[in-house]
Amino acid sequence: MTGRQTLTMIKPNAVKRNLIGAILHKISEAGYVIKAMKYMHLSKAQAGEFYEIHRGKSFYEDLTTFMSSGPIVAVILEKDNAVNDYRKLIGATDPKDAEEGTIRKLYAESKSHNAVHGSDSDENAKIECDFFFSKVERF
């Protein structure tokens, strides 16, 4: 059985462009319930820890600099088949490859400034939800 929760971040570029409302609207329309939400500015070390899985890759330094460049919104989303359906809703990592109507096609500027993050597996969704939220911050 697939998990019912996934973790998204609205990234600094999308926050700066005032897209929080538009992105949350697309998420609600797709049937997700918000279980937890935080508006925060990650330090470079925190961004590095969140993206630990990518440490050593060519884009890791730029990724962690970008993700700590301004506030983000972190959200736990719930519905059946949460991880896979959310990946469909946001579209491919690079907006050039994303399908019409997806969040990244609509709002991303580039592969690195791609508006939103979405967990890529149930296992990582749990790790990522636990990174941002304690038990008493989930409703």
Active site positions, annotated: 117
Kindly identify the residues of this chain, within the stretch 38-97, that bind ligand CMP according to CB under 6 A.
54, 59, 63, 93
Q: Which stretch binds ligand CMP (CB under 6 A): 17-25, 35-43, 72-80, 107-115?
A: 107-115
| Residue whose C-alpha is closest to residue 91's, from 81, 105, 80, 78 | 105
Q: Which of 114, 129, 132, 133 binds ligand CMP (CB under 6 A)?
A: 114
Separation CA 89–CA 86 (nearest Å): 5
CB of 68 to ligand CMP, least distance (A): 13
> 3-state DSSP call for residue 100?
coil
| Residue whose C-alpha is closest to residue 24's, from 131, 103, 93 | 103
Neighbours of 114 (CB within 10 A): 22
- The reply on whether position 104 binds ligand CMP by CB under 6 A is no
* Interface residues toward ligand CMP, by CB under 6 A: 54, 59, 63, 93, 111-112, 114, 117
